[in-house]
């Protein structure tokens, strides 16, 4: 595969961002790297998260000669973008919770931010709210269970609506009219989330904005329009193996190969 765009997440959440990028750039090659051995990232200590992500992404960029990296994970983006940009000479795009558009769209001035425990507690998130939504009341909700529900859904396990309603119940009391999905796993559950919160709460995520950013960066660096009939989508995961449900879910999303991470010969070993 030549010069892929590398899209990274802890699990399958980054697929919500990948879908938006592919919609604008269908002829690119994509390498989707997911660190499911260490999922959920929202529970990891900061330095452990940073060191693992930087090492894994840099190694995969060097191995595949990737042209651009998308850190399609809010939790990782709160920490790893500066060290990653220091090490890499290609563009690195991160995900920022859609607080700024939410502050423009809300009518009653009450916004919710639903994200992982890691994202919710970071100074980065507090600064984002202070900068872009100082006039709004922003309620914060942290959940790693929802991350795991998103993983399970792609693997074909039905969403437990009762559990979902319990997780989302606090939002119904806070009278929010706009909910920022500040974890890339959550757009994969947006129908289910809306069925609990109703149509009075609009859901916002950053996928489309990230895709536009990728296009604009490639326009600056890649001066020719790509017409690649053989565009490929391949995946690498860091656990020893994945369930057959998850493998089938990924195949349904268009993956031609999904391979276990192998530090020595990452592409040829353990092909599923
Ligand atoms: N998808 C990720 C995010 O956007 C991380 C989920 C997790 O591993 O906790 O935050």
Based on the domain organization, do 90 and 162 belong to the same domain? Answer: no
Based on the domain organization, do 19 and 141 belong to the same domain? Answer: no
Residue 78 Cα to ligand 1 middle (Å): 11
Ligand 1 touching residue 39 (CB < 6 A):
yes
Share of the chain above pLDDT 70, in %: 93
Question: Mutation test of ligand 1: which of 40, 43, 114, 206 has the most ligand atoms closer than 8 Å to its C-beta?
Answer: 40
The predicted pLDDT at position 230 comes to 79
The predicted pLDDT at position 264 comes to 54
Which pLDDT tens digit goes with each residue over 5-52? 999 999 999 999 999 999 999 999 999 999 999 999 999 999 999 999
* Structure-token pair, residue 58: 């840099």
Burial (0-12, 13-18, 19+ Cβ within 10 Å), 8: buried
Query: Is 136 an active-site residue?
Result: no
Give residue 143's domain range. 99-205
Where is average pLDDT lowest: 38-47, 218-227, 231-240?
218-227
Distance of CA 226 to the CA centre of its chain: 25
Residue 9 exposure: Cα atoms within 13 Å on the Cβ side: 21
Q: Which positions ≥6 away from 177 have C-beta within 8 Å?
A: 106, 107, 108, 110, 111, 200, 201, 202
Whether 270 has a pLDDT exceeding 90, the answer reads no
pTM: 0.94
Q: Which positions ≥6 away from 121 have C-beta within 8 Å?
A: 142
Residue 161 Cα to ligand 1 middle (Å): 21
**The domain spanning residue 218 has which CATH number?**
3.40.50.1860
Based on the domain organization, do 46 and 67 belong to the same domain? Answer: yes
User: Model confidence at 269, in pLDDT bands (50, 70, 90)?
Assistant: very low
Please identify which of the residues 53, 58, 73, 136 carries the catalytic annotation.
Answer: 73
Ligand 1 touching residue 73 (CB < 6 A):
yes
CA–CA separation, 197 vs 74, rounded Å?
A: 23
Residue whose CA is closest, atom 2 of ligand 1?
Answer: 73
User: Model confidence at 228, in pLDDT bands (50, 70, 90)?
Assistant: low
Report residue 248: phi and psi, to 5°. -65, -40
CA–CA separation, 232 vs 107, rounded Å?
A: 43
Based on the domain organization, do 212 and 91 belong to the same domain? Answer: yes
Which pLDDT tens digit goes with each residue over 93-141? 999 999 999 999 999 999 999 999 999 999 999 999 999 999 999 999 9
The predicted pLDDT at position 11 comes to 98
Whether 223 has a pLDDT exceeding 70, the answer reads no
Residue 73 Cα to ligand 1 middle (Å): 5
Mean pLDDT value of segment 47-70: 96
Mean pLDDT value of segment 59-77: 97
Based on the domain organization, do 58 and 84 belong to the same domain? Answer: yes
Based on the domain organization, do 187 and 218 belong to the same domain? Answer: no
Query: Is 53 an active-site residue?
Result: no
Domain count of the chain?
Answer: 2
Which pLDDT tens digit goes with each residue over 74-87? 999 999 999 999 99
Mean pLDDT of the chain: 93
C-beta separation of 67 from 222 below 8 A: yes
Based on the domain organization, do 79 and 152 belong to the same domain? Answer: no
Based on the domain organization, do 21 and 76 belong to the same domain? Answer: yes
Query: DSSP 3-state assignment of 140?
Result: strand
* Residue with more model confidence, 157 or 221: 157
The predicted pLDDT at position 271 comes to 41
- Edge to edge, the sheet with strand 110-115 lists 137-142, 110-115, 178-181, 202-204
3 state SS for 49-89: HHHHHHHHHHHHHHHHCCCEEEECCHHHHHHHHHHHHHHCC
Whether 69 has a pLDDT exceeding 50, the answer reads yes
Mean pLDDT value of segment 254-266: 80
Whether 209 has a pLDDT exceeding 70, the answer reads yes
Whether 2 has a pLDDT exceeding 70, the answer reads yes
Question: Which of 205, 220, 244 delimits the end of a domain?
Answer: 205
Helix, strand and coil content of the chain, in percent to the nearest 5, comes to 50, 15, 35
Residue 242 vs residues 214, 216, 260: alpha-carbon distances, Å: 29, 35, 8
Give the residue carrying structure tokens 């660190």.
35
- Edge to edge, the sheet with strand 5-9 lists 92-94, 68-71, 5-9, 30-34, 233-237, 257-260
Residue 43 has what DSSP assignment? G
Based on the domain organization, do 76 and 150 belong to the same domain? Answer: no
Which pLDDT tens digit goes with each residue over 181-203? 999 999 999 999 999 999 999 99
């Amino acid at each position: 595969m030549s010069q892929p765009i590398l899209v990274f997440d802890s699990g399958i959440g980054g697929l919500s961002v990948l879908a938006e990028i592919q919609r604008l750039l269908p002829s690119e090659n994509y390498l989707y790297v997911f660190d499911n051995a260490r999922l959920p990232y929202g529970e990891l200590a900061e330095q452990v998260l940073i060191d693992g992500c930087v090492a894994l992404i840099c190694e995969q960029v060097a191995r595949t000669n990737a042209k651009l990296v998308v850190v399609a994970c809010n939790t990782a983006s709160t920490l790893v973008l500066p060290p990653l940009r220091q090490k890499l000479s290609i563009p690195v795009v991160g995900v920022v919770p859609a607080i700024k558009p939410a502050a423009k769209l809300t009518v009653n001035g009450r916004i919710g931010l639903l994200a992982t425990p890691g994202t919710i507690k970071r100074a980065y998130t507090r600064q984002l709210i202070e900068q872009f939504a100082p006039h709004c009341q922003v309620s914060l909700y942290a959940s790693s269970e929802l991350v795991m529900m998103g993983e399970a859904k792609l693997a074909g396990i039905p969403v437990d609506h009762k559990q979902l309603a319990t997780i989302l119940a606090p939002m119904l009391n806070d009278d929010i009219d706009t909910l920022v999905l500040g974890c890339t796993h959550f757009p994969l559950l947006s129908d289910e989330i809306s069925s609990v919160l109703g149509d009075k709460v609009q859901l916002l995520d950053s996928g489309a904005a990230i895709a536009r950013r990728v296009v604009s960066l490639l326009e600056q660096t890649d001066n020719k329009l790509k017409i690649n009939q053989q565009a490929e989508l391949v995946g690498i995961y860091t656990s020893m193996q994945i369930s057959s449900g998850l493998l089938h879910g990924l195949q349904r999303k268009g993956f031609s190969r999904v391979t276990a991470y192998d530090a020595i010969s990452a592409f040829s070993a353990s092909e599923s």
